[in-house]
Structure 1
Amino acid sequence: MIKFFRRIRQQLLKENNLSKYLLYAIGEIVLVVIGILIALQINNWNQENKESLVEKQR
């Protein structure tokens, strides 16, 4: 997967098409941010489940 993205990035740089490269870079950043937000949401969900289990045991 990393080779795929690297190939796209190198091809866009070879073509000297800066606008397409910037659009690609912004898209890649957005995907990373979305992944981080999903991970945080899952972490919060797991933490809430643990807290509810502790409350039920009391």
Structure 2
Amino acid sequence: MPQSLKQAYAWWSVAAASGHTKAKKNRDIAAKELTPKSLSEGQALAVEYFEKYSN
């Protein structure tokens, strides 16, 4: 499966929002590699995933 920094950013964001401190660092590393458009899309995915899976 191809790697997707946008997907990685989204999942690291969910993990960071759930209190995983190391996830924040990884999320920030992924964010630096994304274009502004991909970062925005990754942020939207993070919100979607958080709402769907954090219950």
Common fold by TM > 0.5: no
TM-score of the superposed pair, with normalisation by structure 1: 0.38
TM-score of the superposed pair, with normalisation by structure 2: 0.40
Greater RCO between the two (CA within 8 Å, min separation 6)?
Answer: 2
Higher normalized helix content (fraction of residues): 1
